[in-house]
Copies of this chain bind each other. A is one copy, B any other.
Amino acid sequence: MATSLRRRTAGQVSGESIVIEAAWMYYHDGLNQTEIAKLLQVSRATVVNYLQEARERGYIRISLAPEVFTSHQLAQDLREKFGLQAAFVLPRGKGTEEEALMRVARGAADWLPSLLAPGDRLGVAWGRTIFEIAEAIEQTNIADVTVSQLVGSMATPYGFTAEICSAHMARNLGATCINLHAPAVLSDPDLAARLRDEPIIRRQLDALSHCNKALFAAGSCDPDSHIVSSGLASRADLDWYVKQGATGVLCGRFIDAEGQAIPGALDDRMIGITLDNLQGLEVGLLVSEGDAKVVPMLSAIAGGCVTHVVTSNETARLMLQAAG
């Protein structure tokens, strides 16, 4: 006995919910609200409410044709230059970096469902971008999808953790979720090793190596990057890795310009996917935006685990420029 039963029933029009009736007339038949109000014998204001409800309930789906963006000249250039399967390049707009990031995240959220198929096992990394994507994904239902958390959790000052990223993503995809119940980095390599051998963690890590698709962002090696501010690496760690040639961060691992993981002290203390497990996936979706991400993105792509990219036109232009 939902609220709808108290609602008026559309007279001779239909037995279906009057909300759907109104939505149909408006979006399908192209009638305007005044006409609909007359037909349904309610006030126009009520029609407005019905339409709003229809939108809120997700009866109405408005989407921008992805082909338009993926086939943009820049997207095409990215594909050819970097050997990608597809690229989604969307207008940066001229808002703040914050706004640009949100836009890219929403674009990725729009695109992601069409990259997934029933039975997929999707690995999800962590970060501000990933979090926003998880939030922006519309409720969709693809049969039998599993979402796995690619890296351990961190207590962040931002209020979103790796667990929340994967959990929200799973919820919105109607997928089952495999979390990684461990910190991303421990203070002692030995403890990390023992933790990795715990049966629970073992199984979760095993699940990671069976992912066939992955979603990640590129991290920069700036002193104010997430990798430091989240406490995953210390400032000293960062400096050391940069001295070894680090140009970016991927799933918590430092990589050089060739996209190769840089071995270092952190490796043994971390719990999460290793970069060799990201190789050869059906889909490796890299989502990032901003000047600072250009070099890290290029590094990640050089490493060979990226098949799809979502970014802004400005960043895309810089990437192409930097790559000559």
Which A residues are within 8 Å of any B CB, using their own CB?
A: 1, 4-5, 9-16, 20-21, 23-25, 27-29, 39, 58-65, 68-69, 71-76, 79, 85-94, 103, 106-107, 110-111, 113-115, 138, 308, 310, 313, 317
Contacts and interface: CB of A to CB of B under 8 A. Distances in A.
A73 B27 CA distance: 13
A40 to B, nearest CB: 10
A62 B62 contact: yes
Given A28-B103, A61-B62, 17 more contacts: A4-B110, A9-B111, A9-B114, A9-B115, A14-B86, A16-B88, A20-B71, A20-B72, A21-B91, A24-B90, A29-B103, A59-B64, A60-B62, A60-B64, A60-B65, A61-B63, A61-B65
* Nearest 8 interchain pairs by C-beta: A15-B88, A9-B114, A15-B86, A1-B138, A21-B91, A14-B313, A59-B65, A61-B63
A15 B94 contact: no
A90 B59 CA distance: 13
Contacts of A13: 86, 91-94, 313
A89 B24 CA distance: 12
B65 A16 contact: no
A28 B61 CA distance: 12
A52 to B, nearest CB: 14
A113 B310 contact: no
A26 to B, nearest CB: 10
A15 B310 contact: yes
A11 B60 contact: no
Contacts of A58: 65
Contacts of A86: 12-15
A12 B74 contact: no
A85 B317 CA distance: 39
Contacts of A71: 16, 20
Contacts of A39: 93-94
A20 B59 contact: no
Nearest to A139: B1
Nearest to A23: B64
Contacts of A313: 13-16
Nearest to A2: B110
B16 A91 contact: yes
A68 B72 contact: no
Contacts of A14: 72, 75-76, 79, 86-88, 91-92, 313
25 contacts: A9-B111, A9-B115, A12-B85, A13-B92, A13-B313, A14-B79, A14-B88, A14-B313, A15-B87, A15-B308, A15-B310, A16-B72, A16-B73, A16-B75, A16-B89, A20-B91, A23-B68, A24-B64, A24-B91, A25-B91, A25-B93, A27-B63, A28-B103, A29-B103, A58-B65
